[in-house]
Structures are given as C-alpha cells and as structure tokens.
Structure 1
C-alpha cells in the first residue's frame, strides 16, 4: 500500500537535535517512509490512500517504552481486554515490554524465565493489536541464570533483560548479569525507586552506578522515586537513559527534566507510562506526560515529542520514532481539541491540554482517520481525501 499525507501544517521530526522537518507532505510505501517534504500532483495521484491533514501537525507515532504486557491484548493486572488497541487511539504506535512480570503464575527458575521471555517475543512478532508494534520478551533476571543462559536467549533473538524483580538478596547481585547482558548485546533495563509490587525491592542511584545499565526505568518513581541526590549521580556518573513515567512522581519528573535540560543531557531523556499497573490503564498517558513537561516544566513541545519518540527509538535500537526516509511509517496527526482555547497542537500542549489525535498510521496503513475514540475531535477536518482501498478508515463511528 502507498499512503500519502498532504496539507500538513508542521512536522515534528522526533530527532531531538533537529526537532522540526520542513515540508507539508509525506509519502509512505512498503511499511517505510519514502519521502518528506512536498509531493508532486503525480505522486499524490499514484497513492492508494491520500489523507488530508487539514493543517494539523504530523509526528512520529509515540513509543511507550514501559508497558507491562502479558500475552495477547489483555492485562490481568486490571482485567482488561483490548488495552493495547486502545493505546493506539492515544497515538501510541509502538510499545516496549517492561517484562512480562504480571503474567499469572510466572515462573522464577532459569528455565522458566527464559521460556517466558522467548515465548512472549515470538507471540508478538507478527501480532499487531490495533496496528501497534509490540516489542515483547524481556528476560527477568533471577538467581541461577548464567552467562551461557544470556548468550542462549540472545542467540534466540531476545533483545531485553530486566533487573528489579528477581529474588536476589541485594541489588548489587545484578551487576554480573548486567555485564553479561552487555557482552551479548542485550539491552538492560532496571527498575528504579521504591518497591512497586510485593516481593520487589528498592533500587537507588548507588545500585545503578554499580550496574551501569542501559535504561533506568521510571527514574521519577514507579511510583516511589529515589532520593533526589541520586538524580545528579545518574546524570554525571552513568550514561544511563533516564525514563520518566506517567505512573510515577510528577514533581520529581519535572525536577529531573530541569536537571537534564541544564546539563545538556536531554538526549538521554525517555517518556513512557509504566502501565498497566496499580495506576491503571492510561491510553493518553504519553500525551499527558508530554503536556505536563511542556506546560508545567517549560520544555519545548518538540523536545518532549522527541523524548517520547526518537529518543526511545535510539536507546532501544528501533527503526521507528523519526520522520525521515527509510524509517518505519508510523505517523500520527495532532490538533487542538474542539472547544478549547488554543488554535493548534503546539499551543494546546503549552497550555497543558492533551492534543487531539486526528489520525494514526502504522506500517504505512491508516488505522483511523478523523477522530480518535480517546481524545476530543480536533478543530480541523482531517479526512481521507482519496482511497483505492474499499475501506476509508473514517474514525467517525468511534
């Protein structure tokens, strides 16, 4: 399928070093972005589907880098079916597992945790709920795992390991396994802050300094934040990516963003939700955190968008998250909501409003056009202007 988006009012690139792209149109084909800028009449005519953006802003699809999936589009933590498909209506086009820790009766022995991670990875390899790409399968580090075990799962295609829920006496016991993960090219993700579920333990800055992992999960708390002195240690004594989550502590999220802005380390800032957990299902969680950082923390909207897209993509080694030729064709259109006080998505975020999601395209395929069922309708009439496909992708019925 060849899909074009025309009449775009502005383009968030997702690249924190160049957060805007020039142009008013995108062309996508075979699951990838083909061109960004201006399309000729012939290129528009040749598209199978043409979406009229009506002056809205285009952005890369949001990447939620902290989602507690299990199997299928179901969460036993909240007993909810279809939550991932619902997140697509919040502009989330990719999610990254925070480990399948909430799977009922999950195993904790080496054979079991390996089997759980590999099974989750393979189950989601070709399963796209609502069009979302789910990067599943994170090996939960438990006592008894060896360097050979990590080599084995890496060879099987696993990409992630998770520290923080294992039955180790001390967080320092994770250090050798994190070193093994690094040797085998696995991305290491570490719970940060106070305990989040019964049986887990607190992990503070001194532990992360010893581990030197790739990602500090919910550094603002999940939901309990680490002592504030630890933020400076993580910024200056590690290269860890620091993830802010909607389900965490808002005050410390704003403080961390301020510190990272002052130290020029925003390329290490990630935005995620840490849901579903005790905080619930949050289809608009990514957009809420973006708006909080912009309206309350003074961050530029384009920088917050990049932290939720391109930064996540870079640190998790994904081809998504940036609007550029050759990148995954995951694109959303954002607008100010009808009845609000602001004229466009940029102004809406600065005002603290959650922007309207007017369309979502994943893998170059429109998932809905015109209205998300989870945000107010936008001010502009985003529509399918032309379609050779039987489906028009109209979201009006939502």
Structure 2
C-alpha cells in the first residue's frame, strides 16, 4: 500500500477477477477480417474481458492447409500477441488448426516453439473421425485441443456429432450449446455423462441449450467442467459485452449463483487452459474488474444486477496491475464509480 503509485477506491462497488473469453476469434493484430472491424479487442476490455483464448486463427484470409503454412500461422500469431496487448489485454493466440498434413514431428516442432493450443473442426478431413491421430499427437505434446461441436458454422466446414466427439476425445468440447447450432439433447448428455471434456458455453450459441446444460451440470456436481466464451467475432458479430451478457443470462435464467457463473468465465477457464488469471487472491496476476449495478436497475449491486439479468456497469478495468479503463464505453453507467488518486482524466474521458 505504501509503495503504490495509484490508489483506486471502489466506492462500495464489486471487485471481481477479469473475464476470460475462452473462444475469441483473433487473427493477427487488433483486426477481424470476418467483420472488418479494427480495435475490437481493445473494446472487449471495456466489456470486462482481460484475457482471450484463440480457437485457431481460422478467419485468416487465405488460411493455409499445408503443414508448413499451418505451423507458421500458429507460431506467428502466438509470437505477435506475446508482444502486443491491446488496451492491456493478454491474448493467448496461436491455436494450431489440425490438418491431415500434420505429423507427430510437426507437433514436436510446435511444442518446442511454445504452441500449447489446438483447434479441430476446420481442417481438410473427409470425415471428422479421421482426425484421431492428430488429436492424439497434439495432446501427447502438451497441446490442449478444443473441438468444434454441432452443426457447421461456416461454409466448407462439417458438422461434428457426438460419435465424432466420443471418438476424438478432445480436451474441450467447444460451444457445446451450439456454434451456432447445438447438438441434440441426447448427444449433449452423452458428452456430459460419458467424458471428462471441458464443456464450453458461448454467447453465439443456443441459449436454451446453455440453460439446460448449466442446470444439469449444477445438479450433477459437474460445474468444474463448465467454461464460458463468446465465440465472436463471427457471423454473430463483434460483441464487447458477449461474455458479460452470457454471465447475466445464465445468472438470471438458471438457479446458479451469479458469483458461480462468473467463475465459469474466470477461474474455470484459467484452470482448463492452464493460463494465468481468473482468481482474486494474493500472488495471482492483477487482472481485475470493478463493477456495480447500472443506473436504473432494481438491484443494489453487481451480483444483484446479474441475478435479474441486467448488464452491470463497469467502472474500472485493471490488467497486470495497471489501470486500463475507467467508466466503460460499452456498459451502462455504474451506480457507484471508482475514485482514482492521482486522477486519470485521460481514462475517464474514454467512457460515455
């Protein structure tokens, strides 16, 4: 406290771990070719997102499918985002897109370069079941594999069924609630009951399916496997509040405590992908969000707002111990605002 150069008084508002978007379609730089939008990641910080995890740079224009190109894209994305932090965000990029051209030696090379993420579902496989060898090789080299699930999301991709998922056995079942088209109820239940995959719920999926999945996981003591992402930017759009909106929806439409739902978008994500952040505790990276009930809400605080389905107002975002934003330009105004000493007018002006 005595050594601090900046004092932030939350003024009675809620302090929470920064949100982690576990399904954010980055490419290179703060630009999305899918929606032709610049600075979307910096804007996501105003939505309380302090870290994002890439599900593969699949929206790269002219994306390669040969082994050399696939490896080069993953390594380049990972390396570039190590040096680039839009508005203080940490981007865990460089998820190699699994292709039939990749061999065990290729995965050894990727591991040596530091790649630890992979995505299955957009490679040139005749049948998704044919990706078994690449999934096993990736996992053997310490790479966490997320797999597409449900109907095809873009032209040229294929639906991935419960049978495919059971056979492939990835670490994470991507958008189990649909990306955007969900699996059928029986198939979803097979994945929940008969595997140990992480179960990802996304904003760009099927809300009805999300609600049912979360209730089932809570009832069966499987919540530790539930993780949240936005699955944006996609055809659904650029959504700075995508994760926060999902937390509000699931908090208000299920029996879950809003603090528990917040954990699915923070600590559960951090544990699943073995990345920093996600917790509010001594020794953890200082990625924090200060938020409160929005003006006009019937609730008295941030958790109460989430419980009734209101988007809380974000009044400060801190990453790596540094203040990045004050009044969010994307959320409603918080009822209670932070006080910063010394003042930071250049950040206050970024709000609305």
TM-score bin, normalised by smaller chain: over 0.9
- Aligned equivalent of 1:383: 339
- Aligned equivalent of 2:307: 350
**Matching residue within 151, 156, 163 for 1:199:** 156
Q: Distance in 2 between matches of 1:100 and 1:324?
A: 32
Partner of 1:274, secondary structure, is coil
- Aligned equivalent of 1:336: 293
Partner of 2:154, secondary structure, is coil
Determine if the alignment matches structure 1 residue 140 to structure 2 residue 97: yes
Instruction: Report the CA distance between 1:393 and its aligned residue.
Output: 5.7
CA contact (8 A) 2:99 2:134 kept: no
Determine if the alignment matches structure 1 residue 268 to structure 2 residue 225: yes
CA contact (8 A) 2:13 2:337 kept: no
**Alignment RMSD:** 1.1
Determine if the alignment matches structure 1 residue 364 to structure 2 residue 318: no
**Equivalence map 1:241-280=2 (5 Å):** 241-280=198-237
Q: Distance in 1 between matches of 2:212 and 2:240?
A: 24
Deviations along 1:199-225, one digit per CA (max 9) or x if unpaired, are 100112221111111111111000000
Deviations along 1:276-319, one digit per CA (max 9) or x if unpaired, are 00000100011110011111112110110000000000000012
Structure 1 gap ranges (5+): 1-42
Q: Distance in 2 between matches of 1:303 and 1:171?
A: 34
- Aligned equivalent of 1:168: 125
Determine if the alignment matches structure 1 residue 294 to structure 2 residue 251: yes
Q: Distance in 2 between matches of 1:169 and 1:262?
A: 38
Return the structure number with greater helix share.
2
Instruction: Report the CA distance between 1:47 and its aligned residue.
Output: 1.1
CA contact (8 A) 2:100 2:134 kept: no
Partner of 1:46, secondary structure, is coil
Give the alignment's TM-score, normalised by structure 1.
Answer: 0.86
Determine if the alignment matches structure 1 residue 184 to structure 2 residue 137: no
- Aligned equivalent of 2:240: 283
**Matching residue within 150, 158, 169 for 2:107:** 150
Partner of 1:153, secondary structure, is helix
CA contact (8 A) 1:368 1:393 kept: no
Q: Distance in 1 between matches of 2:163 and 2:260?
A: 29
**Matching residue within 178, 189, 192 for 1:235:** 192
**Matching residue within 88, 104, 108 for 2:61:** 104
CA contact (8 A) 2:100 2:131 kept: no
- Aligned equivalent of 1:374: 330
Return the structure number with greater strand share.
1
Give the alignment's TM-score, normalised by structure 2.
Answer: 0.98
Instruction: Report the CA distance between 1:72 and its aligned residue.
Output: 0.5
Instruction: Report the CA distance between 1:397 and its aligned residue.
Output: 4.2
Q: Distance in 2 between matches of 1:319 and 1:393?
A: 28
Instruction: Report the CA distance between 1:342 and its aligned residue.
Output: 1.4
Q: Distance in 2 between matches of 1:332 and 1:349?
A: 15
- Aligned equivalent of 1:82: 39
